[in-house]
Amino acid sequence: MRHEQENLDACLKCSVCNTACPVYRVMPQYPGPKYLGPELERMRREGIPTDTRYVEYCLGCHGCDVACPNQVAVSEMIAEAKATHHKQPIEALRDWWFARPALLGRLLTIVPSVSNLVLSLKPVRLLMAVMMRINAKRVFPAYRNPDLKSKTEPKADAQHLIFFPGCSIRYNTPDLGRDVIRLLELNGYSVEVAETDCCGVPALANGDIEYARSRARLNLDVLSRYLRAGAKVVTTCSSCGHMLKSGFGGVLENEPDKAEALRMLAENTRDVGELLSEQSDAGKLNTNFAETPLKLAYHAPCHLRSQGIGRPWYHLLGQIPGVSITDLDAGCCGMSGTYGFKEEKYGISMAIGSTLFKRIAETAPQMVTTECATCRMQIEHGTTLTTIHPVEVMLKAYDRH
* Digitized pLDDT (tens) for each residue of the chain, 401 residues in all: 554 555 788 999 999 999 999 999 999 999 999 999 999 999 988 888 888 899 999 999 999 999 999 999 999 999 999 999 999 999 999 999 999 999 999 999 999 999 999 999 999 999 999 999 999 999 999 999 999 987 656 666 778 999 999 999 999 999 999 999 999 999 999 999 999 999 999 999 999 999 999 999 999 999 999 999 999 999 999 999 999 999 998 899 889 999 999 999 999 999 999 999 999 999 999 999 999 999 999 999 999 999 999 999 999 999 999 999 999 999 999 999 999 999 999 999 999 999 999 999 999 999 999 999 999 999 999 999 999 999 999 999 998 65
Q: What is the pTM of this model?
A: 0.94
Number of helices and strands (H, E) in the chain?
23, 8
What's phi and psi for 311, nearest 5 deg? -125, 70
What is d(CA 212, CA 207) in angstroms, rounded to the nearest whole number? 9
What is d(CA 241, CA 347) in angstroms, rounded to the nearest whole number? 28
Per-position DSSP letters for 271-314, written without gaps between them:
EHHHHHHHHHHTT-S---PPP--EEEEE---HHHHTTT---HHH
CA-closest candidate to residue 32, choices 48, 20, 49, 44: 20
What is d(CA 135, CA 35) in angstroms, rounded to the nearest whole number? 29
Length of the chain: 401
Compute CA 84 distance to the chain's CA centroid, rounded to the nearest angstrom. Answer: 23
What domains appear along the chain, each with residue ranges and CATH number? Answer: 5-84 (1.10.1060.10), 160-276 (no CATH), 287-400 (3.40.50)
CA-closest candidate to residue 366, choices 298, 296, 307: 296
